[in-house]
Amino acid sequence: MARSGLAGAARVARWADAALGPGRRGATADGKATLSDATAERAARDLGLTAAQVRADWDTARLAGLVEVHGDSARPGWRLRAWDRDDSAVLRGWVALFDAWSLAYPEPEGHEPAAVAEVVSAMPQVLSFLQLSAGPVPVEQLLDLLGQRVTELRTERCEVAYGPRPEPARPEPTAPADADAPLAPLLDWALRALASVGALTYGDGQATLTPLGNWAVWVKLEQICVAAQSPAGNIEQAAEDMLRGCAQLRPNAARAEYRAWLAARPVGSAVTELLAAARGDDALLRGLAFEALRVVGAPAEPDVRAVLDEPTLRPYALLWLAEHDGVDPEDAHEVLTREEATWLWVDTAAAVADHGEAPMLVRHLESAVQPTVPALLDEVRAVGHPRTVQVLVALAAAHPDPALAKAVRRAAFQVHTGGS
């Protein structure tokens, strides 16, 4: 259903990718992502549509994240790149459109912006009621619910009149109807807008969520529940503090915490925060940040791919991308070069040295790709990790074999003094 509803938008986005990319003639007339008349006419001719259809599909493509406009050029969003192979990209594109329903359909004229904003803020409760009703709901019932929610919003803002109070006038019998009157056309607009994006059907005085709309509202309710049940209470923390709080949790509990933390914030800013934490000095947080990014999944792909040029993050990013592409986690290390695998071994050893116990560091030797300790020490010295000396000193102190510990200490001294 999502693919069908966004098929026109995807077609226009692919046309824009071919016709309006960098180095080609401008896409827009005003620098605000509005197609110029000439461009709309050209697309209409190429695609066998009217200019009005092209403009409508273009707007949908932008709202769904299928196309991004930068200045006077357009480029495809990551969702369009993943469109044919990733169903989750299609669903996320539709959810982005669903979230932007108030922009997808022109609002009625003659209403105060504050009243429109109140209705937009109140609609999630109306949609939740539709989802729980699991069938058609009369518009009169939705109007009553909308009125209650708007009243609650005004009360939460403490909209109380100050100053001398006039003598109260005798209440008119028609007051409730007058209070509801301004909301009726705005509810009609909201339901039409939600119908236009495929979230519900609206007609004959009633509204019903489509299967897609029902799924989207259910997912959002589930996210609210997940966020409310943050097991370790780190949901309001910044990424670095959240990851630090998860360091002592078992893997399943940590993943539950990541899900709760992610559910409470926009995915884009969450990914940015996690990568910023991964760039820090604490190697343990680096590993945990990429574990949290595994919970994010496909939406993190462009940002993870963008850090491949950063030596500190590259091995983690390569493993993440391999697993995202379907490589078995047990085999994912095969995408790393010998040098990248050695760098990752040192980084992981630094995390163990900082946060683990001595036996863990000794066991970490077994995970090295080198067949012997002398070979490992040679390649560790060559890889240039900033924590090499500290890792080797900690390993020498922890290892029970005196001869091996002496060799590791010698290697640490050589790295420290720049010797070979």
pLDDT digits (tens, 9 = 90+) for 251-301: 888 888 898 888 888 888 899 999 999 998 889 999 999 999 999 988 899
Alpha-carbon distances of 124 from 88, 128, 339, rounded to whole Å: 23, 6, 51
pLDDT grade for 67, boundaries at 50, 70 and 90: confident
Sequence-distant (6+) residues with CB within 8 A of 288 are 243, 246, 247, 254
Partners of 202 in the β-ladder: 207
pTM over 0.75? The answer is no
CA distance 266 to 272: 10
Q: In whole angstroms, what is the distance from residue 340 CA to residue 311 CA?
A: 9
Task: Specify the pLDDT at position 161.
Answer: 44
Strands (E), 169-209: 200-203, 206-209
Alpha carbons 64 and 79: distance in angstroms, whole number: 9
Structure-token match 């071994």, residue found = 345
Ranked by mean pLDDT, the top range of 26-40, 226-240, 337-351, 379-393 is: 337-351
DSSP strand pairing (67-70 vs 73-76): antiparallel
Residue 199, pLDDT > 50, answer: yes
Distances (CA, A) of 400 to 366, 374, 393, 405: 15, 17, 13, 7
- The region that residue 205 occupies, defined by phi over 0 for left and psi between -120 and 50 for alpha, beta otherwise, is left
How far out from the chain centre does Cα 38 lie? 35
Interval 68-117: pLDDT, tens:
776 666 777 778 888 888 888 899 889 889 988 988 888 888 888 888 88
Cα(335)–Cα(333) distance, rounded to whole angstroms? 5
Token pair for 120: 């937009």
Q: Please tell me which residue, 95 or 235, carries the higher pLDDT value.
A: 95
Q: Is the pLDDT of residue 224 over 80?
A: no
Give the per-residue pLDDT at 41. 93
For position 70, what pLDDT does the model report? 65
Please name the residue that has the structure tokens 């109007």. Answer: 143
Q: Using DSSP, how many helices (H) and how many strands (E) does the chain show?
A: 23, 5
Q: What confidence tier does 226 reach under pLDDT thresholds 50, 70, 90?
A: low
| pLDDT of 172 higher than 60 | no
Question: Using CA atoms, how far apart are residues 246 and 406, in angstroms rounded to an integer?
Answer: 36
Alpha-carbon torsion angle 74, 80, 81, 82, nearest 10: 160
Q: How far apart are CA 368 and CA 383, in angstroms?
A: 14
Predicted confidence band of residue 48 (pLDDT cuts 50, 70, 90): very high
Residue 11 pLDDT > 70, yes or no? yes
Whole-number pLDDT of residue 267: 86
Between CA 393 and CA 396, with CA 394 as vertex, the angle to 5 degrees is 65
**pLDDT band at residue 185 using 50, 70 and 90 as cut-offs:** very high
Q: How many C-beta neighbours within 10 Å does residue 328 have? A: 9
pLDDT in tens, 312-332: 999 999 999 999 888 888 888
Token representation of residue 258: 């990541």
Looking at residues 34-55, what average pLDDT do you find?
90
| Least confident piece of the model among 31-35, 210-214, 300-304, 358-362 | 31-35
Radius of gyration of the chain (CA): 29
Candidates 184, 179, 190, 62; CA nearest to 124 is 190
Is it the case that residue 32 has pLDDT exceeding 90?
A: no
